[in-house]
Amino acid sequence: MSRPPASRIWVIVGGVIVGTLLVLPAISGRIDPFVHTQCEKQLVATEVDRWIPAALVNSPYGGWGYGQGHGWGATVLNGTAAALMLEGSEAELFTTHNASLAGVGPDSPCTGRYLASLPDQNYYGGTAGFINKTSNLTDRGEAGTFDVYGDASNLSKVVYFSNAFDSANAPNVTTCGGGRTVRSVLTYHDSIDLPFDVNGTQFIAPYELTWAQNFTYEFPANFGTWAVDDLSAAGGPGGGWAFDFLGACS
């Protein structure tokens, strides 16, 4: 078996109060509310220069992975993982609360105590860096945070995410007895958490990336078998694939 290539990375620049419901049975048998619940928000803080991931990409052990988002791309090799970060977005932090409104309408309660918004996505720079892992053989235990240039003291350069392998939810990929295999994946959501500092107190708010992400993965010929966690499957955090190397071909 040839020795896997050394780890490298390329960056490609391209272009809680719930409202009480008063109900009466209608003639048709339906129950129509006269009060509905709506989530309301209040601005707490604004940052003018936030770093946001364009894509988070894993690579299978022995092969390579490419991730692209918002016109930027990054390639990683041999079981490594990378965060491709963009600079320039304005970010807002809101607190949320449920309010009871009179009249018929759909209930839209808050899903969390805090909410992040990116009203201005004027990205003007980018960088890519490795996401910490304990082993190139698996994405289990992969770090769930990334600090741009290791600057954890500046929260505008920090992002939290879930890009690790949790459990297999897609068919294994095997190249035993066969040639190299290439798989392409297109996803439309990736959930992250953004930390904010407000008068010395840290708040963390969720945000879902709004752009499509493209991923390509190559598995070398007659090399082994990989378990796959499709992160964009129903109930997942979003993104591409995560891998767990099950073993070499015999």
SS (H, E, C) 85-101: EEEEEEEEEEEEEEEEE
Residue 64: both structure tokens together: 């390579």
β-bridge pairing 201-208 and 191-198: antiparallel
Radius of gyration for the alpha carbons in the chain, expressed in angstroms and rounded: 22
Section 84-97 average pLDDT: 92
Q: Are 197 and 205 in contact (CB under 8 A)?
A: no
How far apart are the C-alpha atoms of 133 and 244, rounded to whole Å?
Answer: 12
Q: pLDDT per residue over 215-226, tens digit each?
A: 999 999 999 999
Query: What pLDDT, on the 0 to 100 scale, is given for residue 14?
Result: 45
Q: Where are the domains of the chain?
A: 9-15+42-102+113-248
Section 12-37 average pLDDT: 44
Q: pLDDT per residue over 169-201, tens digit each?
A: 999 999 999 999 999 999 999 999 999 999 999
Which position has the token pair 């201005």?
120
Least confident of 38-42, 90-94, 168-172: 38-42
Residue 177: left (phi > 0), alpha (psi -120 to 50), or beta?
left
Predicted TM-score of the model (pTM): 0.81
